Structure 1
């Protein structure tokens, strides 16, 4: 892509964004410079659309506020300590940041916020050359002091300064490198990879919240497998997700993959292929696909005859998932959803040739709950055999299970399996106050419903009274 073509791309971006032109006029009138920077410039050069408009300027934060006053629909200064002022105009959000020339203390990795005076000085301190391009919205000129355009053309991820300096300033940039490899499909420069290997341990200084945010962005990128492989190859995974590295040591029981790690990457790819195209990337499904076999290293057993088994690895895996995702500060909902999918991912393999009873199908649906659709995708993605006949047979069997679920669901509300008697009726029939005995009766009736399907009212009462007699509960005289 020639320089003139790249320039035209950004000019077109500005042409369809009158906000940028309006800002250019106001900053020029104030005698200040204004540059479009970061991902919006990079994406424009790549021919990708971007809804983010980030600007940098030589104006100080108080000057930015004065320039925007009377123009913006709203202003906020939550980032003013870092030189950033936010604004919205006609539903579009922009952030404008004063040139930065930060110095890092080398211990806490927190920057001493220092404002700079030149665009070149601001760009050189950024994480990667592909993010260190700017466009002067007043003069309509590119600024590219670190070779970002050439890096985009070569699809190479490199740092403006030496990788050691860049990662020393902020070790999270190493994980961000893996994220950009996954997001852009670029290749990390050899010197970047070397620095990541030698400095991976520095990532332990970063807070779990920042690490988790980058990991989630990586997993929701277009090419997460490439980023994950880079994490493992450089040792970053030893800090972030050490269970991934452990899986590299385990050969799966089918001997269809070099190791369980590579099997899990294939499952991740296949799960992504099953996502709905019109929806956002499914972080829960992707985490479950990547981590569904993390219990295998701890459950590997060598059997007589040369075989290898991983009995109950789904149980161990669910526990490991909870421990790791909690450490990364994922929300309780995400932790529990991923753990449940890992725990349930093997359940289907007991289905065999369709010998499950309707009761077993009901339990499968009930145990999955709101995760049933994701469980369907995870189970299908977990079929990675190279034997096409076997793969087709597994998919047909699962098709049959889904059809059975649909047939039973047509007659019963499988999404909300409840006892045939509610808590109030249980208390009335048994003469019980609220408490554990009512809960036990409710659970008994729910299990009965799962086993036998819906009962008529009189039958449910008879079963409850029989259960009560066995428990030593004497119902009141009718």
Structure 2
């Protein structure tokens, strides 16, 4: 049954497995405390998806204590003092009191087991995460003022920021993540240490940096998190394409502030996410990251025109290439890279629609090129309008409404999202009496182009078109 310790705001609860586990460890003669995020979230009136515990028991003693009680356990984190446990529907991690430090020349943390709960709490990243509830009594242990800082909306470190970030440089990324997730202001001392030590983030693996970046982007206040990365210099190392937008500022006001524009697009994209039943459930990393990166091709494509204007021709294509390279460096999976870079590449495709008008063929190509990213592209394109000119904004909004209406009408008429050539490969080979090979692919492409330009035709007409095309081939 859900359990809420006294003294905490309504809205959060703990599984009764927390009480049970505390009693299991007490019976075995060991200390156990719920620690970190789950405790912080109780004060925020919300339920944490994770249950993290710390204990004076060593890994082998943890296993011995839970044997016969846990449904399963695993020791994949044994080297770090962590044992994973499953009890019913709950997945739990229990970690021996510890202290971590990075050798300046190493990417891997050096693990040292601590002697008591105080040793463990002082080595944690921030005071709001350095609180513990002793079990099974639920006595709060808060030696560094985490509750005070949480209600004050401030992010501080238990030890000095320099000591904390030297022990684990990834904590500098976490500071930006918590600015995004929790809306906390970073204390000046913490901000100063992040700025002075930013270069040290380079010893942390790309995978760990990526995970913090994802959490930052999908937080409630992503703009604040990104801004902190840029202001402290961390972004110069982990996401240099974004601070490059700030260097694009034009003292002659010949173009807008691209950096601030990108942050605004990020915010507006997040506002257009849907609920869980909609086409783009939020928070959506792919949409948000594409919004942040959509203009990163501008620094490399900026040109000052003879009449005093500024152009950024093909910044969409260049930006997609830069985004792909950065995401590969951060070890993102191929599918996420594909989705984000496609959005960046297509984000300019809509412009001109309202002035020039599009044929049905152009609308079909827009949908086909967007593929499974069409709903995100709708939102990214709308988010890219940050002009203060109300008439211009209204005109663009109306034009995109019209485009979406046309897409809906064509989809209903033609099942647009399932566009295929008039004939498949087997039919092509049968009609032309040819074996599999490159010619079949060329014929397929011809029929697809005709389908895109002219819409669907009957199978007999398609066969006649194919034979006519075949007769014209050398």
TM range (shorter): over 0.9
Stretches of structure 1 lacking an aligned partner (at least 5 in a row): 473-478
* Residue 476 (structure 1) aligns with: none
CA distance in structure 1 between the partners assigned to 2:97 and 2:331 by the alignment: 32
Q: Do the aligned partners of residues 13 and 350 (structure 1) sit closer, same or farther apart at CA in structure 2, a change above 3 Å counting?
A: closer
Structure 2: segments with no counterpart, 5+ residues: none
Please list the CA deviations of residues 9-62 of structure 1 after superposition, one character each: whole Å capped at 9, or x if unmatched. Answer: 189967x52111111211111121111101001111122221221111111111
Instruction: Note if contact 1:257-1:263 (Cα within 8 Å) is conserved in structure 2.
Output: no
Matched, 1:95 2:93: yes
The correspondence of residues 202-281 of structure 1 with structure 2, limited to 5 A, is 202-251=200-249, 259-278=257-276, 279-281=281-283
Aligned mate of 1:336, from 335, 338, 352: 338
- In structure 1, what is the Cα distance between the partners aligned to 2:9 and 2:53? 13
CA distance in 1: counterparts of 2:88 and 2:254, whole angstroms: 55
In structure 2, what is the Cα distance between the partners aligned to 1:432 and 1:12?
68
1:93-131 CA distance string (max 9 Å, x none): 111111113344332143322212210000001111111
Q: 120, 123, 131: which is aligned to 2:121?
A: 123
Name whichever of 433-442 and 455-464 sits farther off.
455-464
Deviation at 1:431, TM superposition (A): 2.3
Stretch of structure 1 that moved more, 150-159 or 401-410: 150-159
Number of equivalences:
467
Please say if residues 50 and 92 of structure 2, whose CA atoms lie closer than 8 Å, have aligned partners that are also in contact: yes
Specify the alignment match of 2:378 in structure 1: 376
Shift of 1:293: 0.5
CA contact (8 A) 1:251 1:259 kept: yes
Q: How does 1:41-60 map to 2 (within 5 A)?
A: 41-60=39-58
Task: Note if contact 1:182-1:226 (Cα within 8 Å) is conserved in structure 2.
Answer: yes
The answer for the alignment partner of 1:151 in structure 2 is 149
Whole-angstrom distance in 1 between the partners of 2:342 and 2:127 = 41
Say which is worse superposed, 77-86 or 227-236, in terms of deviation. 77-86
State the shift of 1:270 in Å: 0.5
- Using the alignment, how far apart are the partners of 2:120 and 2:395 within structure 1? 59
- Specify the alignment match of 2:310 in structure 1: 308
TM-score normalised by structure 2 residue count = 0.94
Q: Residues 126 and 155 of structure 2 are in contact (CA less than 8 Å); yes or no, is this contact kept in structure 1?
A: yes
How large is the Cα RMSD of the aligned pairs?
2.1
Equivalent pair of 1:106/1:169 in contact (CA under 8 Å): no
- SS of 2:8's equivalent? helix
